[in-house]
Structure 1
Amino acid sequence: MVSASVKDVAALAGVSVGTVSNVLNRPEKVSPAVIIRVQSAIEKLGFVRNDAARQLRAGMSHSIGLVVLDAANPFFTDLARGAEDSAAAENFSVLVGNSSDDEGREAAYLDLFEQQRVRGILLSPVGDVLPRLEQLRRRGIPTVLVDRVSENANFSSVGVDNLAGGEMAVRHLLSLGRCRVAFVGGPTSIRQVAERLAGARKAIAEVHGATLEILETESLTVLSGRAAGLAIRRRAAGERPDAIFAANDLLAVGILQGLMLMGDVQVPREIALIGYDDIEFAAAAVVPLSSIRQPSVLIGSTALELLLQEAAAEPGFQTSHVVFPPELVVRESTLG
């Protein structure tokens, strides 16, 4: 079935194509009687306007691209919700891509969003993509980095102080009298993981006799956490850490499962456990998890606002770098 065109609508309504365009885009320029005739023709023909083509002709889109590291992580789901809510308030839509920590997939989404001529891109980057982002900007597509504090003043960014968050998590464990701490997370090539580990190291260095064991994982998933928890449970009691800092809550949930699978390792009596992000699963775990909270929804909405400001800005626009403080949330996994 061939879709009705603007010409078809104009012919049925007895007006010019330009008048139909005005009804669709600038109705204040058309008389009420003509608007009624054109709308009646649209309904009879089942005409659907091609917004994609219209935006391409105008060189402007009402879509925003968002590329996240892991769409399965509720942190990024909440971040996307914050961006979508703010976008909807400004009549924009958000197209979400999941890089899965893969630079190739990330590059493919950036290419796709460029082809779609999105108004701008929110990006939680896998690696060093600054040269690509510079290219996008030259083509009129600004980018804001999310869940990351930019070291490059050329790009706005919104994130949390992960160094302070890692330090906060381990200081909490040390305050409980624990001294054999394990950091579980990875790969450490992910900047957020590296920063949280650096914070953990800083806290450990301040306490004489405290040690930090690093157990790098292949991914930041529940399954990777469960494998780490099982490996720790298989050790003799005296060889286990007495506290664990997981690089995110998904890992922490998996670690908890691995440790308590057979009921022979008690959390927190034998091993205190803290995660990062404070996703909903943290509070709902069989032993509610302590965590370092990130304001995920606020990160998404703030990034969207910065992006639209830059998209509408004149030359000489100054970028912004918003860094939210982390917050310690204490629950049963570190109490006792």
Structure 2
Amino acid sequence: MPQVSIRDVAERAGVALGTVSNVLNRPEKVAPATRERVRAAIDQLGFVRNDAARQLKAGRSNSIGFILLDVRNPFFTDVARGAEQQAAQHGMSVLLANSDESPARESDYLDLFVQQRVQGVLVSPLGDIADRLERLKDRGIVTVLVDRRAEGRQFSSVSVDDVAGGFLAVSHLIEQGCTRIAFIGGHLGIQQVADRLLGANQACAAHPGVALEVLPHDGMGVHQGRKAGSTILQRSPAERPDGAFCANDLLAVGVLQSLTMLARLKVPDDLRLVGYDDIDFAAATVVPLTSIRQPSLLIGKTAVELLIEQIGPEPKEPREVVFQPELIVRESSTEPVPPDPS
């Protein structure tokens, strides 16, 4: 069956080729009755426009590439959802990619987005990729760092103050009486993890007699959290931490599962627990999880706005947006409040 062309649509609707093009790309310029006639012809003929050819002609697609650090983490899927919502308001689409904390995958996706002629790239990078982003800039591709601050001002970035977040989390545990605190994180080469640990250390340094132990793991999922919980369970009561701050909520969920499955330790009685991100189901865990909230949807929306600022007819200078984290206290870190006898 021959492919339906834009000329076929114009002939069926009884309009000029330019009118069909306007309906597809600038519908506000076409009278409503004419728009409906053209769209009816498109439906009748089953026309699908050739975006690849259009991209070659224009030199750019109408898409944004977005490389997520870990698509399994609901925080990043919420950030992506915010980006998609904001991009749609500008008539753009978002192409999602998951680096899965792999520098090689991250590099491959950057190459792919160049081939796809995207308008720009949002990236939550694993390490320092400034040189690679400079090469994209030389190709005319705008980049925005997401959940990561830019070094200098050559790129726009949107992030949360993770040092402040780590300080909030551990200060809260100290206020709850914890003196032996474990930091459970992923690879310390991930800047977000390193910053959260820095904030945790700052909180401990402000309180003499409080010790912080680092339990690093090779990932940031529930499985790694369970392994950390098992490590804690193997220790004697005198050697066990009485508080734990996890670099994200998935790790905290894994710790909680490990400690409570065999009912050997109680949260928060034996160990007070704080996560990070405040993902949707943090409040619905077996013991509702105290967490550091990041405005995930707003981060995604802001990232797209920062990109739009630099691809318009009058591009603005790169800028940095840093949101402040918020402590959300739940039962995993505090004693339950007894009911009012009255």
Q: TM-score range by the shorter chain?
A: over 0.9
Counterpart of 1:299, as a letter, is I
Give the superposition deviation at 1:49: 1.4
Give the superposition deviation at 1:27: 6.7
Give the superposition deviation at 1:26: 5.7
| Other-structure match for 1:52 | 52
Aligned length: 335
Give the superposition deviation at 1:23: 5.6
| Other-structure match for 1:166 | 166
Give the superposition deviation at 1:319: 1.1
SS at match of 2:332: helix
Counterpart of 2:293, as a letter, is R
Matches within 5 A, 1:191-230: 191-230=191-230
| Other-structure match for 1:81 | 81
Q: Where does the alignment leave 5 or more consecutive residues of structure 2 unmatched?
A: 336-342
1:144 and 2:144 matched: yes
| Other-structure match for 2:330 | 331
| Other-structure match for 2:238 | 238
Give the superposition deviation at 1:152: 2.5
Give the superposition deviation at 1:2: 3.0
- Compared with structure 1, are the counterparts of its residues 330 and 63 closer, same or farther at alpha carbon in structure 2 (3 Å cutoff)? same
1:321 and 2:320 matched: yes
Give the superposition deviation at 1:221: 0.2
Give the superposition deviation at 1:45: 3.1
SS at match of 1:203: helix
SS at match of 1:238: coil
For 1:244 and 1:149, locate their aligned partners in 2 and report how far apart those are by CA, in whole Å: 26
- Compared with structure 1, are the counterparts of its residues 152 and 236 closer, same or farther at alpha carbon in structure 2 (3 Å cutoff)? same
- Bigger mean CA offset, 182-191 vs 59-68: 59-68
For 1:124 and 1:67, locate their aligned partners in 2 and report how far apart those are by CA, in whole Å: 6
Matches within 5 A, 1:121-136: 121-136=121-136
TM-score, length of structure 1 as denominator length: 0.92
TM-score, length of structure 2 as denominator length: 0.91
Counterpart of 2:248, as a letter, is N
Give the superposition deviation at 1:56: 2.5
For 1:231 and 1:51, locate their aligned partners in 2 and report how far apart those are by CA, in whole Å: 53
Counterpart of 2:55, as a letter, is Q
| Other-structure match for 1:248 | 248
| Other-structure match for 1:155 | 155
For 2:54 and 2:18, locate their aligned partners in 1 and report how far apart those are by CA, in whole Å: 14
For 1:37 and 1:296, locate their aligned partners in 2 and report how far apart those are by CA, in whole Å: 42
Give the superposition deviation at 1:24: 4.2
1:309 and 2:309 matched: yes
For 1:119 and 1:185, locate their aligned partners in 2 and report how far apart those are by CA, in whole Å: 34
Q: Where does the alignment leave 5 or more consecutive residues of structure 1 unmatched?
A: none
Counterpart of 1:319, as a letter, is P
For 1:63 and 1:307, locate their aligned partners in 2 and report how far apart those are by CA, in whole Å: 12
CA deviations 1:141-162 (Å, max 9, x no partner) are 1011011111221000000000
SS at match of 2:151: coil
